[in-house]
Structure 1
Amino acid sequence: MDPNPDLDPAPVRVAIVDDHESVRLGVRAACQEAGFEVVAASASVSELWVALAGIRCDVVVLDLSLGDGFTVTENVQHARSMGAAVLVHSIADRVGLVREALAAGAAGVIPKSAATSAVIAAIAAVARGDVLNNLEWASAIDADREFGKAQLAQRERDVLHLYASGLPLSQVALKLNIKVSTAKEYLDRIRAKYVEVGRPARSKVELLRRAVEDGILAFDDNGHVH
């Protein structure tokens, strides 16, 4: 018999990267109050790498304007290489930098003007692997017309719509009256097209993000895709 049947799941492990100490302290306090474990708080991603030293981290809350000599893409990719999802925490009007972060693989963006409860909810969503869809994300995409859309044929859009909304490939094939092998070929083609425009989508969650970004799927008021 399990001696600890009621053990709570491990807390979300959060790291904070911001070159303003007051921001680091504020986010740290909010995370700790929410029951998250703050494993590091650093002024740069390089400092974070040293601070973590192999410690597991679920989410890195990352400011985009660090002045550390690295590009947004480099910082996001470096943080992701530690095995963590990246939540951008920045000033909302920097849409160009936000778009670059999303293209580099950031899981979402929450503005510094957001309520503490919204920041905590965003961290929790990103830690679960959910797609964080909000006005800031949409604005960053809409404001930058160079955001390369994959040119998908209608049948590819149909496959992506069904698959990214949660259906297994077998059900996608059934609904479209095609073979499972054919549906997989479409999916492989879709992934290849996203790679071509610099927006790889290796996982189902990343495909969902791409589908939302390109208007193939949308979220309703309850957070469900349609």
Structure 2
Amino acid sequence: MATPVTVAVVDDHDVVLSGVRAWLEQAPHPIEVVAAATDLDGLDPTADVLITDLRVGGELVLDRIADLAAAGRRVVVFSRHAEAPLVRRAERAGALAYVCKESPEGREHLVGAVLAAAHGKPYTAPSRAGATAAHRPRFSEQELRTMRLWLGGLTRAAVARQMGISEHTVKQYLERARRKYAQAGREAPTRIDLYREAQRDGIVGL
């Protein structure tokens, strides 16, 4: 049997905690909810993934998400807030996924987000993917290939060897990709940010 993914869940509402627990424990891949709480203090630090609302105790917890992500916690936000600026702030803070409660995607994509986050990968729910579709940059074939190889885990030197180009050229392709995303209003300053945007555009898979 596959090793279960362990999850801690934080939400102000008991009904949400119960619902999330039920969804996750019925997932095809074993997921075990090891803690459920109404605040972010005192949670099991060994859980593979932390699911939290964006607003806990009436306050936005973006700073706490940033602290948790910086400490190595893999955070998935599950919130009723769907405003793009808030979603982007949560992602910038370090959340690996953002799933909206009040959308048809809740159950299926919360499970997908948890499984991706357990492997340290970002996950884009359909509502977010659709929101960015109108701001999709155009890339050359070389830029696309460079992103796929580098975001797939190769070093820049390894990408250069595989493509038969210099490491400096690899760096240039990646910088161009970042500039194009920035011009489309989709900043991607870090590797994980670039992976997230490329995954939304179908350039890389989960």
**Cα distance between partner residues in 1 of 2:129 and 2:202:** 11
The 3 A distance-change label for structure 1 pair 81 and 212 is same
Q: Deviations over 1:145-177 (max 9, x none)?
A: 9xxxxxxx9899567524345273345324654
Give the letter for the 2:34 counterpart: V
Matches within 5 A, 1:43-54: 43-45=38-40, 47=41, 50-52=42-44
Matches within 5 A, 1:103-114: 103-112=92-101, 113=103, 114=105
Give the letter for the 1:109 counterpart: Y
Displacement after TM superposition at 1:20 (Å):
1.1
Look up the match of 1:56. 46
Displacement after TM superposition at 1:184 (Å):
6.4
Displacement after TM superposition at 1:139 (Å):
5.1
Matches within 5 A, 1:146-225: 157=143, 160-166=146-152, 168=154, 169-170=156-157, 172-174=159-161, 176-179=163-166, 181-183=167-169, 185-186=171-172, 200-202=189-191, 205-212=192-199, 217-219=201-203, 224=205
Q: Deviations over 1:170-200 (max 9, x none)?
A: 4532465423x4256548968x989xx9854
Please, which of 37, 53, 68 is the counterpart of residue 42 of structure 1?
Answer: 37
State whether residues 162 and 172 of structure 1, in contact with CA within 8 Å, keep that contact through their aligned partners in structure 2.
no
Please, which of 98, 108, 118 is the counterpart of residue 109 of structure 2?
Answer: 118
Unaligned segments of structure 2, at least 5 residues: none
1:83 equivalent in alignment to 2:72:
yes
Give the letter for the 1:163 counterpart: L
State whether residues 76 and 117 of structure 2, in contact with CA within 8 Å, keep that contact through their aligned partners in structure 1.
yes
Q: TM-score, normalised by structure 1?
A: 0.65
Give the letter for the 1:33 counterpart: Q
Larger radius of gyration: 1
**Cα distance between partner residues in 1 of 2:76 and 2:175:** 29
The 3 A distance-change label for structure 1 pair 80 and 74 is same
Tell me whether 16-25 or 85-94 shows the greater mean CA deviation: 85-94
Number of aligned positions between the proteins = 197
Unaligned segments of structure 1, at least 5 residues: 1-7, 146-152
Q: Deviations over 1:105-141 (max 9, x none)?
A: 2111222133423322221122123331233223565
State whether residues 172 and 183 of structure 1, in contact with CA within 8 Å, keep that contact through their aligned partners in structure 2.
no
**Cα distance between partner residues in 2 of 1:85 and 1:122:** 11
Displacement after TM superposition at 1:14 (Å):
0.5
Percent of counterpart pairs with the same letter?
29
Displacement after TM superposition at 1:19 (Å):
0.8
Q: TM-score, normalised by structure 2?
A: 0.71
1:28 equivalent in alignment to 2:26:
no
**Cα distance between partner residues in 2 of 1:44 and 1:166:** 36
Give the letter for the 1:107 counterpart: L
Give the letter for the 1:102 counterpart: E
Displacement after TM superposition at 1:62 (Å):
1.6
Superposition RMSD on alpha carbons, in Å?
4.0
Please, which of 7, 11, 35 is the counterpart of residue 4 of structure 2?
Answer: 11
